[in-house]
Structure 1
Amino acid sequence: MERLGLVIKRAEQALIAEKTRVLQEFHLTVPQYAVLLVLLQSSEASAAQLARACLVTPQTIATVLTNLEGKGLIERAASPLHQRVRVAQLTAKGTDLIRRADPAALAVEQRLAAAFTPDERNTFTEHLERAITTLARRQLPADAPTPQPADDPS
């Protein structure tokens, strides 16, 4: 029996490979596409916010933002809230590009979704959410004392 982690990784890689293929027409990588999509939905964001939203490292987001800025797809300026933070915004060129590229990427997800009945998609999503929740929980060592609720003095 194949290990579950490998099956999940293969599915992720297949999805990314197909999105990579369809985004080539727009000269975008998947991380660049993700940043543009987040900026389309939120108007502006810091590098840290974009890294979290796009599930990439700070180092990766720095490279992605530099490349997007070099292509004229985003602009970065000092945040009005904090001088040391720069926020990125879409340019008109970036807005136009993401609006043209998004249907291609969305079609990949729709093709994947169409491989399942609505009930199967719901169950699949529930199973993936359970996997995420399970893995996000930190295991306590077997000999660790069980945390006790604090006494309520009232």
Structure 2
Amino acid sequence: MEQDHQPATISPTSEKDWRSLQHQEFVEQVDLLIRTAHMIRTALNNSFAHLEINEVRYAALKVIDAIRESGCSQSELARKLGQSESNICTLIERMESDQLVVRRQSQQDRRKRVLQVTEEGYLILERVKEYHGNVSQRLLAALTPDQRRQLTGMLQTLLKAAQVQRSQRETVRTVADSPSPYALRDIPAA
């Protein structure tokens, strides 16, 4: 008995299954990024823990030091690190008490206070950069130079997408999240 061989058609169910599989792939990729980032953060923190600094403090010192000419405000630091200003305020208070940073009046704008890395903070920053470089080199040695360039490009693209998504979430009010019964869609928050 000969079986009929009819061409397969895509049913609405198989399209749904494909989307579900694609969705699952996206979830797995993001989970992989999160696990990788956690492992890298742990390796970095372990490498310079004896200096009594973590990667968040390192990132703050690095940003403040990089823009020392014009001065770095707390709000600018918050923006560059993707943190809330209240979190940065707490971080800076602790770093100030540990004599890693100081707040000074801006030379360009007397109304503004800027952050500066202290001499002690700078010495720690330089030591941490060395440890960070060693850990980074060991971690990325598994990749070829071309793979590292591709990775940099992909990570920059993902970072931009995450920043856009965060920006949209912070500046757009919808009816559901607005306290006013007369809220308009797509109006930037005040």
| TM-score, scaled to structure 2 | 0.64
**Stretches of structure 2 lacking an aligned partner (at least 5 in a row):** 1-24, 169-190
Query: Residues 90, 128 of structure 1: CA spacing in aligned structure 2 closer, same or farther, 3 A cutoff?
Result: closer
RMSD in angstroms over aligned alpha carbons?
A: 2.0
Q: Does 1:10 align with 2:22?
A: no
Structure 1 CA distance for aligned equivalents of residues 129 and 47 of structure 2: 10
In the alignment, which residue of structure 1 is the partner of 2:59?
34
1:53-72 alpha-carbon deviations (Å, 9 max, x no partner): 22322222111111110011
- After the TM superposition, list the runs of 4 or more consecutive aligned residues in structure 1 that deviate by more than 6 angstroms: none
Q: CA deviation at 1:100?
A: 1.5
Residue equivalent to 1:151: none
Say which of 150, 154, 158 aligns to 1:127. 154
- Which one-letter code corresponds to 1:30 in the other structure? E
- Point out which structure has higher relative CO (alpha carbons under 8 A, 6+ apart): 1
Among 43, 67, 76, the alignment partner of 1:49 is: 76
What is the aligned-residue identity percentage? 24
Moved more, 4-13 or 129-138: 129-138
Residue 53 of structure 2: SS of its match in structure 1?
coil
C-alpha deviation, 1:24, in angstroms: 0.7
1:22 — aligned with what?
Answer: 47
Q: Which residue type is aligned with residue 28 of structure 2?
A: R
Name the structure 2 match of 1:62. Answer: 89
Equivalences, count: 137
Please show how residues 41-120 of structure 1 align to structure 2 within 5 Å: 41-43=66-68, 44-80=71-107, 81-83=109-111, 85-120=112-147
Amino acid at match of 2:39: A
Pairwise CA distance, 1:6 = 0.6
Aligned-partner residue type, residue 104 of structure 2? A
| Residue identity in the other structure for 1:16 | R
CA–CA separation in structure 1 for the residues paired with 2:153 and 2:128? 29
Q: SS at the partner of 2:102? A: strand
Rg larger for: 2
TM-score by length of 1: 0.78
* Distance apart, 1:10 and its partner CA: 0.9
